[in-house]
Structure 1
Amino acid sequence: MEEKKRLLLLVTLIFVSFSVVYCIDDKCLACNAVAEELELGLSNEKPRNHLDLRNRLNSKGQREGKVIDYRVSELRVVELLDGLCEKMQEYTLDKLASTRHEWVKVDDWDNLTTDKREARAYSKDISSYCGRLLEETEDELAELIKKGPVKVGEVSKVLCQDLSRQCSGTSAAAGGAEEDDVRSDRDL
């Protein structure tokens, strides 16, 4: 009896391991989930004043230094990207059909109907993936955010197609179309 339990546990661990590896194999889908969270941060930005870096006084008593527009500041980039991958731990992989998957944000982990350990494993995997993705693209992404091409509605294209190339070729069209379908279903 003890041998059967061990065998069942081994088979379960192998299945979970392959499932987790499979979910990150679809890097386009995972990249789109990260882009969606970054886009959420962009859409929730509140208008901010310019950054006043005039902190020195000249001999005439006038303040010297720069005033920087918040939209093109390094502070804005840091606020958008800092903590992004930790937020990805709120996501897990939802299996919609035998061949279709989707990354979804979990509102309440206690109300999950799927295996909670497997769901937590997925959340750690996408968070790790996010870290690797940002490590590869952070400098270019930061410059694009400051210059303005990264806007709400364009994050997935910029991050997943242009910078990381996670959604290039035929998988990009399929992944992007599925993501657009999912997004439009949620927006309705």
Structure 2
Amino acid sequence: MAELTAWLLMILVVLTFTVVSSIDDKCAACNAVAEEIENGLSNEKPRNHLDMRHRLDSKGQRKGKVIDYRVSELRVVELLDGLCDKMQDYTLQKVDSKRYEWVRVDSWDNLAINKQEAKAYSKDISSYCGRLLEETEDELAERIKKGSVKVGDVSKILCQDLSKHCNMSSDSHQADADDDEPDGEL
């Protein structure tokens, strides 16, 4: 009996996980999360260095480090903290008969689609964001601290390099297509 209960519990956990990870187009969802991170990067205000010299030595001189804000853990926390809550402002919108994209909702009252369905989508992308950050946060934080994450590069770094939810970008496909063409030289 205990064995049957364990199996049923395991099946229930697998089914729950399958339902929770129900974002169909992970690349589009990842790009929406990357867009929100880019908004955070572009809205950053210049900050002073972090003065961590709080101790005094025997001569009364301050001891400790001065840390550049751009490479600090504080910057990473401020960029990523509350990110998934912000994703609840997004919903899935139909672009054409076969394509959907994630869009930021300015006013939930002015939606042309079913509000209940739109809210469900917003919860889906918010939980997807949590899973995405859980998988990639350490490496993303290191790249932010190194300064390799800049406005315009977040989608490539997060969605292609770290999470692998997107294949090569269209720019990369174009570069590959250009390489296949003859150079015109004999």
d(CA) in 2 for partners of 1:127, 1:103: 12
Q: What one-letter code is carried by the residue in structure 2 that aligns with 1:94?
A: Q
User: Counterpart of 2:102 in 1: which secondary structure?
Assistant: strand
Q: Which residue is equivalent to 1:150?
A: 149
Q: What one-letter code is carried by the residue in structure 1 that aligns with 2:67?
A: I
Structure 1 moving runs of 4+ over 3 Å: none
Q: Which residue is equivalent to 1:80?
A: 79
Q: Which moved more, 1:80-89 or 1:94-103?
A: 94-103
d(CA) in 1 for partners of 2:147, 2:73: 13
Q: Which residue is equivalent to 2:113?
A: 114
d(CA) in 1 for partners of 2:24, 2:116: 20
Alignment pair present for 1:54 and 2:53:
yes
Q: TM-score normalized by structure 1?
A: 0.78
Cα-to-partner distance string for 1:94-137 (whole Å, 9 max, x where unaligned): 00111111100000001111000000000000000000000000
Relative to its length, the structure with more helix (as a share) is 1
Cα-to-partner distance string for 1:16-59 (whole Å, 9 max, x where unaligned): xx9x94xx111000000000000000000000000000000001
The 5-angstrom pairing of residues 6-25 of structure 1 reads 21=22, 24-25=23-24
The Cα of 1:77 is off from its aligned counterpart by 0.1
Q: What one-letter code is carried by the residue in structure 2 that aligns with 1:67?
A: V
d(CA) in 2 for partners of 1:52, 1:37: 29
Aligned-pair Cα RMSD in Å: 1.9
The Cα of 1:173 is off from its aligned counterpart by 3.8
Q: What one-letter code is carried by the residue in structure 1 that aligns with 2:144?
A: I
User: Counterpart of 1:158 in 2: which secondary structure?
Assistant: helix
User: Counterpart of 1:166 in 2: which secondary structure?
Assistant: coil
d(CA) in 2 for partners of 1:166, 1:53: 39
Q: What one-letter code is carried by the residue in structure 1 that aligns with 2:73?
A: E
Structure 2: tracts of 5 or more residues without a match: 1-18, 175-186
- In our comparison, the structure showing a higher alpha carbon Rg is 2
User: Counterpart of 1:33 in 2: which secondary structure?
Assistant: helix
Q: TM-score normalized by structure 2?
A: 0.79
Q: Which residue is equivalent to 2:158?
A: 159
Alignment pair present for 1:130 and 2:133:
no
Q: Which residue is equivalent to 1:69?
A: 68
Alignment pair present for 1:141 and 2:137:
no
